[in-house]
């Protein structure tokens, strides 16, 4: 299938191409996307779909919904309905595409999700994720909200299945909790860029909600953490839920990373239940000896187990 805004393909929108696939699809279907800016709130709930763009700079899927947006009934949209792209199916892959939420600053609009990855065996290769607060959510949802009775969004009330996602040579940017959720998610050879809010605390890269008993949460291997923000203004992460797991292995960190590395989200209990760890961090912000006492430094043997379990050569479905 070919999608092209200029009419040279079978479809002019990506959603039209997705909708043409049978509901009970059981075979890999590849949708090629020609250059263009596709302003679509894209929903994918059928498995075995691949989206292949011409290049990440020239194929952009964008939308501008946000958590504080007022709906017709007077209620706010909420974080989990603000996505630009929702992937609620398994065995999804994307390559050479930019996913963007253009709503703007979180101080004004609240959370604004670019991609809601709610399936398992989901892969992104050479993709860009652009947003500010809560750019990327990797499902499933936690067992219950901290406030209120519902999360809202497309997975509310549905079975919470474990999810695995993989990111290879991707670029992810944002400021507050811009990589968050409960999945086992591996980021290999990615650029992680923290935007500058020009505040004393510019942000938090991760906000994991790893379920209790799940062995792995967020794993970053051979990544580069960059920013134009002032030195020591960005945390590696804070626990959205108490059993958050996040590990950085062989990552280069610029000076924007705070020397203490991690924040407990003002939850003292989380200091004993989280697993935050590093191995061979380098760069101005990679001085592991200055981290909070409740963080971990992996041994080479421990790090090798992660690398053997998760690192892989490039592939795309």
229-241 confidence digits (pLDDT tens): 999 999 999 999 9
Number of H helices, E strands in the chain: 4, 26
Q: Is 157 exposed, middle or buried (0-12, 13-18, 19+ CB in 10 A)?
A: exposed
Q: Tell me the percentage of the chain whose pLDDT exceeds 70.
A: 100
Reported as a pLDDT band with limits 50, 70 and 90, residue 315 is confident
Q: What is the CA radius of gyration of the chain?
A: 19
CA 307 to CA 182: how far, in whole Å? Answer: 20
Lookup: tokens for 252: 């280069």
The answer to whether 123 and 165 have CB atoms below 8 angstroms apart is: yes
Of the candidates 134, 169, 254, 304, the residue annotated as catalytic is 134
pLDDT at position 122 is 98
d(CA 183, CA 198) in angstroms, rounded, equals: 30
**Residue 10 pLDDT:** 97
Rounded-to-10 torsion of CA 309, 315, 316, 317: -80
Render pLDDT for 72-94 as a digit per residue (tens, 0 to 9). 999 999 999 999 999 999 999 99
Q: Does the pLDDT at position 317 exceed 80? A: no
Instruction: Find, among 58, 125, 49, 113, the residue nearest to 86 by Cα.
Output: 113
The answer to whether 114 and 101 are in contact (CB under 8 A) is yes
177 is catalytic: yes
pLDDT at 96: 98
pLDDT score recorded for residue 316: 79
Element housing 301 (H / E)? helix 300-310
CATH of the domain spanning 28-310, picked from 2.160.20.10, 3.10.20.600, 2.40.170.20, 3.40.50.300: 2.160.20.10
- Those residues whose C-beta lies under 8 Å from the C-beta of residue 211, and which sit 6 or more positions away, are 142, 143, 162, 182, 241, 243
pLDDT tens, position by position, 248-273: 999 999 999 999 999 999 999 999 99
- Residue 24 has a pLDDT of 86
pLDDT at site 7: 95
Rounded CA-CA distance 119/140 in Å is 8
282 pLDDT above the threshold of 90: yes
For 195-233, the pLDDT digits (tens) are: 999 999 999 999 999 999 999 999 999 999 999 999 999
Burial zone of 251 (CB within 10 Å; 0-12 exposed, 13-18 middle, 19+ buried) = buried
At 314 the pLDDT is 80
Average pLDDT over residues 280-299: 97
Q: What is the mean pLDDT of the chain?
A: 97
Residue 11 has pLDDT above 80, yes or no: yes
User: Does 243 have pLDDT greater than 80?
Assistant: yes
Q: What is the pLDDT of residue 191?
A: 98
Identify the active-site residue in 65, 91, 175, 177.
Answer: 177
**19 labelled catalytic:** no
Is the full-model pTM beyond 0.95?
yes
Mean pLDDT of 138-145: 96
Per-residue pLDDT of 107-141, as tens digits, reads 999 999 999 999 999 999 999 999 999 999 999 99
């Amino acid at each position: 299938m070919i999608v092209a805004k200029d009419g040279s393909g079978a479809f002019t929108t990506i959603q039209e191409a997705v909708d043409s696939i049978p509901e009970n699809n059981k075979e890999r279907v590849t949708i090629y996307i020609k250059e263009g800016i596709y302003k679509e709130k894209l929903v994918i709930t059928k498995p075995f779909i691949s989206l292949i763009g011409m290049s990440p700079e020239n194929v952009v899927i964008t939308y501008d919904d946000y958590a504080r947006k007022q709906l017709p009934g007077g209620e706010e949209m909420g974080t989990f309905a603000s996505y630009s792209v929702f992937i609620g199916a398994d065995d999804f892959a994307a390559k050479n595409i930019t996913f963007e939420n253009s709503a703007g600053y979180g101080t004004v609009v609240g959370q604004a999700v670019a991609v809601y990855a709610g399936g398992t065996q989901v892969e992104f290769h050479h993709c860009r994720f652009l947003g500010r607060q809560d750019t990327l959510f990797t499902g499933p949802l936690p067992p219950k909200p901290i406030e209120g009775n519902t999360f809202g969004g497309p997975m509310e009330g549905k079975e919470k299945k474990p999810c695995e996602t993989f990111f290879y040579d991707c670029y992810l940017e944002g400021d507050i909790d811009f990589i968050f959720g409960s999945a086992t998610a591996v980021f290999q050879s990615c650029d992680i860029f923290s935007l500058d809010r020009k505040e004393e605390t510019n942000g938090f890269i991760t906000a994991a909600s790893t379920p209790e008993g799940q062995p792995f949460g967020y794993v970053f291997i051979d990544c580069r953490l960059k920013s134009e923000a002032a030195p020591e203004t960005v945390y590696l992460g804070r626990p959205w839920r108490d059993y958050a797991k996040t590990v950085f292995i062989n990552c280069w960190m610029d000076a924007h990373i705070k020397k203490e590395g991690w924040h407990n989200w003002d939850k003292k209990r989380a200091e004993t239940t989280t697993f935050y760890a590093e191995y061979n961090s380098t760069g101005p912000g990679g001085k592991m000896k200055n981290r909070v006492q409740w963080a971990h430094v992996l041994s080479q043997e421990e790090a090798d187990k992660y690398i053997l379990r998760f690192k892989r050569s490039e592939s795309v479905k």
